[in-house]
C-alpha cells in the first residue's frame, strides 16, 4: 500500500505517510492528456443530464496543468497518520491530539464521495481552539479514519463491510488507542456510522453529532396530509428536496448498490470518469447559492478529495459500501433507538427533520442553518465547528 512504513507495536499500530510514486502522477497526466471526450446534447440546460463536457474539460485542464498534488500530499502529511488491522481489515486513520490535556476524544467519519481530506479545515480549530480564537475547554483529540474500502483503508479484505461492521471496527480502534470516553461525529455515510458507533458502544460514547443525515433522520415514505400540515416551511422544503433526490438523483445509488464492480472498471481506468462521477455530487449537493462546485468548495480541495479515490483505485471498493448496505436489509429499515445524546446540524441542502429523527435517536440538540451544504466541513467549516463545540459542551 502506498506510504506504509514498516513498524510494529504491541497493538500493531503502524505509522503511515502518504508517498505517492511519481510514476502514478505521470500516468495520471498521460491519461488526462489522452481523454476521449463525450459531446453534449445541444439545446438542454447543460447540467440537466449530468456534468457538461465544456465544464469538465476546463476542470480537467486545471487538474492537469495547475493542480499540484505534492502540495496537498504534504498538507495531509502534516498530521500524524497510522494504519492498524481490525477484524482482518487494514484501517488508515489520522490521529491528531490536542495540546489541551483535558481534550475530549472525537471520532470523525467521512461519507461518499468524501474522504479524510474533507476535514483539513476543521482539524486545527477542533484540536487547538486556543490558537483559533476559541475556548480551550472545547478542545478535542481527533481520530479520523478512512472507511474500509476508501482511500488507504484498502484493499478490502473481503465482503460484508456494512455500516454496523464499520462501526464495530471503529469502536475497537478507539479502544486500541486507549480512549474509554469519547464522542462521534460524521456526515453522509458518516451520519450512519457515527450513530451506529453510539449504539454499539453506548457505555463509552458520550454523544453523537451528525450533519448531512439521512437514514434514521428522515422518512422515506411520503408524508401524510396531516403531517404536511404540521411541518414548518423549512421542513416542507426538505421534503421537496428529498423527493427531488429520490426522483432525479438516485442513479448513482442504484448502480453502486447493485453493480459496483462493473462501475469500477470505467472509473478506475479513466480519471475524467472518476472526476465526473464525484464532481456531479458537488454540484448537486452543495449550497444552492453556488452556481458551480468551486463556488462552494475550493477547487484544489475538491481535487485532492478526487485524488484520494483515483490514486488508490478505490472507486469500486468505496461503492461496495452501498452494495453491502442495500443487501443487508435495504434502505429505510427500522433502526434501533440510540440512548446516546445526539446533536444534528442541518445545513441548507440537508433533508433531516427532527420529528422523523426522534424515534431512532435521543435528540438533545438541533440546529438549522440557511447556508452551507452537504459537505459542511468543506463548505462551512466555521459553522460546523461551532455547532460541534456547542453540542459537546452539553456532554463533556
* Catalytic (active-site) positions: 188, 322, 374
| Spatial separation of the C-alpha atoms in residues 183 and 194, rounded to whole Å | 9
pLDDT in tens, 281-334: 999 999 999 999 999 999 999 999 999 999 999 999 999 999 999 998 755 567
Helices 299-310 and 53-65 cross at an angle (nearest 10°) of 80
pLDDT at residue 115, rounded to an integer:
98
pLDDT at residue 332, rounded to an integer:
59
Average pLDDT per run of 10 along the chain, which is 396 residues long? 38 93 98 96 83 96 98 98 98 98 98 98 98 98 98 97 97 98 98 98 98 95 91 95 93 96 98 98 96 97 98 98 88 81 98 97 98 98 98 98
pLDDT at residue 331, rounded to an integer:
59
Here the cell at position 22 is 511519481
pLDDT in tens, 146-164: 999 999 999 999 999 999 9
Q: Note whether 272 and 279 are within 8 A (CB).
A: no
Helices 163-176 and 190-200 cross at an angle (nearest 10°) of 60
Q: Note whether 183 and 208 are within 8 A (CB).
A: yes
pLDDT at residue 330, rounded to an integer:
56
What are the distances in angstroms from CA 390 to CA 99, 190, 387?
A: 20, 19, 5
| Spatial separation of the C-alpha atoms in residues 395 and 205, rounded to whole Å | 10
Q: What is the pTM of this model?
A: 0.95
pLDDT at residue 273, rounded to an integer:
98
- With H, G, I as helix, E, B as strand and everything else as coil, classify residue 81: strand
Amino acid at each position: 500500500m502506498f506510504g506504509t512504513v514498516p513498524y510494529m507495536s504491541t497493538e500493531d499500530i503502524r505509522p503511515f505517510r502518504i508517498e505517492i510514486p511519481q510514476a502514478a502522477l505521470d500516468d495520471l497526466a498521460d491519461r488526462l492528456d489522452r481523454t476521449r471526450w463525450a459531446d453534449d446534447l445541444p439545446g438542454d440546460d447543460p447540467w440537466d443530464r449530468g456534468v457538461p463536457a465544456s465544464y469538465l474539460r476546463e476542470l480537467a485542464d486545471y487538474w492537469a496543468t495547475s493542480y499540484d498534488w505534492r502540495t496537498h500530499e504534504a498538507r495531509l502529511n502534516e498530521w500524524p497518520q497510522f494504519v492498524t488491522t481490525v477484524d482482518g481489515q487494514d484501517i488508515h486513520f489520522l490521529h491528531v491530539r490536542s495540546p489541551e490535556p483535558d481534550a475530549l476524544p472525537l471520532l470523525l467519519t467521512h461519507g461518499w464521495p468524501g474522504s479524510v481530506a474533507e476535514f483539513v479545515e476543521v482539524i486545527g480549530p477542533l484540536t487547538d481552539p486556543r490558537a483559533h480564537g476559541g475556548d480551550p475547554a472545547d478542545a478535542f483529540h481527533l481520530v479520523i479514519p478512512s472507511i474500509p474500502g476508501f482511500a488507504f483503508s484498502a484493499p478490502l479484505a473481503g465482503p460484508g463491510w456494512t455500516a454496523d461492521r464499520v462501526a464495530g471496527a471503529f469502536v475497537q480502534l478507539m479502544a486500541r488507542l486507549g480512549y474509554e470516553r469519547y464522542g462521534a461525529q460524521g456526515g453522509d455515510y458518516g451520519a450512519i456510522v457515527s450513530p451506529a458507533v453510539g449504539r454499539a458502544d453506548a457505555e463509552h460514547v458520550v454523544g453523537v453529532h451528525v450533519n448531512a443525515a439521512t437514514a434514521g433522520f428522515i422518512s422515506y415514505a411520503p408524508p401524510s396530509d396531516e403531517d404536511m400540515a404540521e411541518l414548518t416551511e423549512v421542513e416542507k422544503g426538505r421534503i421537496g428536496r428529498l423527493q427531488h433526490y429520490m426522483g432525479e438523483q438516485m442513479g448513482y445509488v442504484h448502480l453502486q448498490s447493485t453493480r459496483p464492480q462493473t462501475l469500477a472498471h470505467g472509473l478506475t481506468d479513466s480519471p475524467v470518469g472518476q472526476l465526473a462521477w464525484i464532481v456531479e455530487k458537488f454540484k448537486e449537493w452543495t449550497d444552492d447559492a453556488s452556481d458551480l462546485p468551486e463556488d462552494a468548495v475550493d477547487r484544489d480541495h475538491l481535487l485532492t478529495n478526487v485524488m484520494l479515490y483515483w490514486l488508490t483505485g478505490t472507486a469500486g471498493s468505496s461503492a461496495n459500501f452501498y452494495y453491502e448496505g442495500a443487501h443487508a436489509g435495504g434502505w429505510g429499515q427500522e433502526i434501533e433507538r440510540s440512548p446516546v445524546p445526539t446533536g444534528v446540524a442541518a445545513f441548507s441542502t440537508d433533508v433531516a427533520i427532527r420529528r422523523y429523527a426522534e424515534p431512532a435517536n435521543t435528540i438533545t440538540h438541533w440546529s438549522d442553518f440557511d447556508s452551507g451544504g452537504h459537505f459542511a466541513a468543506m463548505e462551512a467549516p466555521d459553522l460546523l465547528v461551532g455547532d460541534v463545540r456547542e453540542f459537546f459542551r452539553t456532554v463533556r
